[in-house]
């Protein structure tokens, strides 16, 4: 820095062009440094926590809330209206949008991120690979040519050799990405990837890469300033993924040695210095079984998983972003960076892991975060989880002296999370952390694919879950006598219940006995309960001699239970009429499985379809989900149009059942 002229770009108020936990995370560091903060919001987020926590908030939403946070003109206008001097793009799509960075500059606003030129150079996957190849950095073999015709793409895929990866040239987060096993599946996968990329990034261009078998996904965190200084902050292992989106991240990687860390870090620093990179960035690599690494792409932004790097370096990466953007030197050399302990982060998502990770939306009836651990979220009891945005609703980050300590802390914390009202992947994350492969630090990007059956297996104590649900339904019923401990002289009669825990209707009888205990009977199973304490939202009980506790929430005919780290959503169907097979599509009607937007209608009236044939593609929470015919027959009606927003359960396609097939 000696002799270098310092160029300051001061600002005093920051508009955060993102939502939810991202906005709240940035606000926290900005306020600690003395900056004012401004939020933006769509109509769907009018009452969101990030709006209420900001000093000011500006509405930018319209009919399609999913697109509101991507409207550059509206965000620039919001910054001007609020008097903000700088814009932080968060860590969403705008953070990697060169047009947005340029628009901020043109409006006289400080963009808290790299220059438009750096985003253009490294934010485009095809261009970034060209730069890396010229610099001698090993890259995954593939095709990133301008000719995007179907014929050329298929020919290039054959030349690369299957399996291949199709990847959107813009953006990230797994959108527009498909793994294709053979040539027969390639055309449909290419169409789907392009459609998703167009919807997410406004650009359908894709590249092809050879699929590296069972790699680790390793990324290197880098920082640069406008004076030519650059450092790396070590690596993160992001191998545990579903649909090419990360679920668990950790630092350091169990597979990276100090020598490999130094080598990969040096490559990353060399790359960002070559383009005069300013701010936070991440270079992503695949690490194969033999320890060879290949550059995939660069994310020109702060990553969702940055807290694990903060945990082991004791640095605030948002603070570094703000200091660099204001013109201050980085103030750190590579020798200043030290690592302490191990950190693991999990992404709590509103999705049903047992049903192909189907995204879920609705009202979070009760939310309670665990104590003693870092949790990034924007939730509260009563929060609405809209269908327009990413399914991630919270991040939990643990730090320990060792990997096992960090893993143990995280499991305990997840077991304490109360998330009632919307299905989440809470139990699935616990099972992942406990799995022997992950526990040994051996998880690759194939971890969920290879172990999914075991991870998603039915709970072995399902019968006891039914019994516990019956007990809580009984003692919380307005018709039941008020619970009191001790013996009872009153005669009681068995109460028959019909309940559903998400895997079919179960019938069970429960009765309070004269000694004060409860007996639940289901087929040949018998469960005896003694209640030690019953509160408004918790119960302490003994079951067959074992004392346990659970949290619960009674909400009409719904009952939510948190027991042993697993949330059970129970429906009381005792007084409900029997359900027909129509919900599964057996009546020929295909229903939307979630709230979302129709992106493709794959059939037309009069078409013959087979059971299981794709008929419609719905986009929800930034991912596409194909809906299929439940029966064989002839399409009699299409009840939606492409681009239409639909709600869960809406009939989208009607099929006249083929009686011969039936």
Return the active site residues. 301
Of 183, 144, 151, which is closest to residue 164 (Cα–Cα)? 183
Of 512, 462, 457, 521, which is closest to residue 487 (Cα–Cα)? 512
**Apex 76 CA angle, 70 and 79, nearest 5:** 115
Q: Are residues 528 and 544 in contact, defined by beta-carbon separation less than 8 angstroms?
A: yes
| Residue found by looking up tokens 């006289």 in the block | 108
Q: Are residues 131 and 275 in contact, defined by beta-carbon separation less than 8 angstroms?
A: yes
Of 191, 234, 231, 207, which is closest to residue 296 (Cα–Cα)? 207
Tell me whether residue 272 is exposed, middle or buried, using C-beta atoms within 10 angstroms of its C-beta: 0 to 12, 13 to 18, 19 or more.
buried
Q: How far apart are CA 591 and CA 582, in angstroms?
A: 9
Tell me which DSSP letter residue 648 carries: T
The runs of H, that is alpha helices, within 255-335 are: 258-274, 306-313, 317-325
**Apex 398 CA angle, 238 and 285, nearest 5:** 15
Instruction: Count CB-CB contacts under 10 A for residue 95.
Output: 28
Is the link from the previous residue into 388 a cis peptide, with omega within 30 of 0?
A: no
Query: Coil, strand or helix: which one is 457?
Result: coil
Of 158, 164, 161, which is closest to residue 207 (Cα–Cα)? 164
Of 468, 394, 460, 459, which is closest to residue 426 (Cα–Cα)? 394
- Token duo for residue 357: 């990770």
Instruction: Count CB-CB contacts under 10 A for residue 481.
Output: 11
Of 285, 292, 283, 272, which is closest to residue 231 (Cα–Cα)? 272
Instruction: Count CB-CB contacts under 10 A for residue 10.
Output: 10
Torsion from C-alpha of 43, 49, 54, 56, nearest 10 degrees: 30
């Amino acid at each position: 820095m000696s002799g270098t002229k310092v160029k300051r770009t001061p600002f005093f108020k920051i508009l955060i062009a993102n939502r939810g936990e991202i906005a709240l995370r940035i606000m926290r560091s900005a306020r600690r440094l003395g900056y004012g903060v401004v939020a933006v919001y769509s109509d769907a987020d009018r009452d969101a926590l990030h709006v209420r926590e900001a000093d000011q908030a500006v509405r930018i939403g319209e009919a399609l809330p999913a697109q509101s946070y991507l409207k550059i003109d509206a965000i620039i206008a919001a910054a001007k209206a609020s008097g903000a001097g700088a814009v932080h793009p968060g860590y969403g799509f705008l953070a990697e949008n060169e047009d947005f960075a340029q628009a901020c500059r043109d409006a006289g606003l400080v963009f808290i991120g790299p220059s438009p030129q750096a985003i253009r150079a490294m934010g485009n996957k095809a261009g970034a690979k060209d730069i890396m190849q010229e610099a001698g950095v090993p890259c995954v073999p593939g095709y990133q040519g301008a000719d995007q015709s179907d014929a050329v793409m298929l020919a290039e895929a054959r030349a690369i050799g299957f399996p291949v990866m199709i990847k959107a040239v813009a953006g990230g987060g797994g959108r527009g990405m498909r793994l294709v096993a053979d040539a027969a599946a390639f055309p449909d996968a290419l169409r789907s990837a392009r459609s998703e990329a167009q919807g997410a990034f406004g650009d359908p261009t894709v590249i092809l890469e050879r699929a590296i078998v069972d790699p680790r996904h390793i990324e290197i965190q880098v920082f640069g300033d406008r004076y030519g200084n650059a450092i790396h902050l070590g690596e993160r292992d992001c191998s545990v993924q579903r649909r090419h989106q990360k679920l668990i991240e950790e630092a350091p990687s169990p597979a990276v040695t100090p020598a490999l860390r130094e080598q990969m870090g040096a490559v990353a620093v060399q790359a960002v210095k070559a383009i005069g990179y300013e701010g936070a960035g991440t270079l992503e690599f695949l690490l194969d079984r033999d320890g060879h690494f290949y550059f995939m792409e660069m994310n020109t932004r702060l990553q969702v998983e940055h807290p694990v790097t903060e945990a082991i370096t004791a640095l605030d990466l948002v603070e570094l972003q703000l200091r660099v953007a204001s013109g201050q030197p980085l103030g750190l050399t590579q020798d200043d960076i030290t690592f302490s302990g191990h950190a693991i982060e999990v992404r709590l998502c509103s999705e049903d892991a047992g049903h192909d990770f189907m995204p879920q939306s609705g009202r979070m009836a009760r939310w309670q975060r665990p104590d003693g651990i870092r949790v990034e979220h924007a939730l509260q009891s009563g929060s609405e989880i809209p269908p327009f945005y990413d399914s991630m609703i919270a991040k939990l980050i643990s730090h320990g002296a060792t990997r096992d300590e960090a893993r143990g802390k995280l499991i305990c914390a997840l077991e304490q999370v109360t998330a009632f009202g919307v299905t989440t992947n809470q139990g699935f994350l616990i099972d992942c952390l406990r799995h022997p492969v992950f526990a040994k630090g051996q998880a690759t990007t194939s971890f969920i694919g290879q172990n999914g059956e075991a991870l998603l297996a039915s709970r072995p104590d399902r019968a006891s879950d039914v019994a516990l649900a019956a007990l809580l339904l009984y003692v919380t019923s307005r018709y039941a006598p008020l619970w009191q401990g001790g013996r009872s002289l009153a005669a009681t009669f068995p109460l028959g219940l019909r309940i559903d825990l998400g895997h079919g209707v179960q019938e069970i009888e429960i009765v309070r006995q004269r000694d004060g205990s409860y007996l639940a009977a289901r087929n040949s199973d018998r469960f005896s309960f003694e209640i030690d304490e019953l509160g408004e939202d918790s119960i302490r009980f003994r079951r067959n001699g074992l004392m346990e506790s659970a949290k619960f929430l009674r909400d009409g005919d719904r009952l939510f239970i948190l027991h042993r780290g697993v949330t059970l959503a129970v429906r009381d169907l005792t007084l409900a009429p029997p359900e027909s097979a129509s919900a599964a599509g057996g009546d020929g009607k295909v229903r939307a499985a979630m709230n979302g937007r129709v992106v493709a209608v794959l059939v037309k009236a009069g078409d013959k379809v087979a059971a299981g044939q794709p008929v419609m593609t719905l986009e929800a929470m930034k991912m596409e989900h194909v809906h299929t015919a439940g029966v064989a027959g002839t399409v009699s009606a299409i009840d939606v149009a492409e681009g239409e927003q639909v709600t869960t359960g809406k009939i989208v396609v009607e099929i006249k059942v083929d009686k011969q097939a039936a």
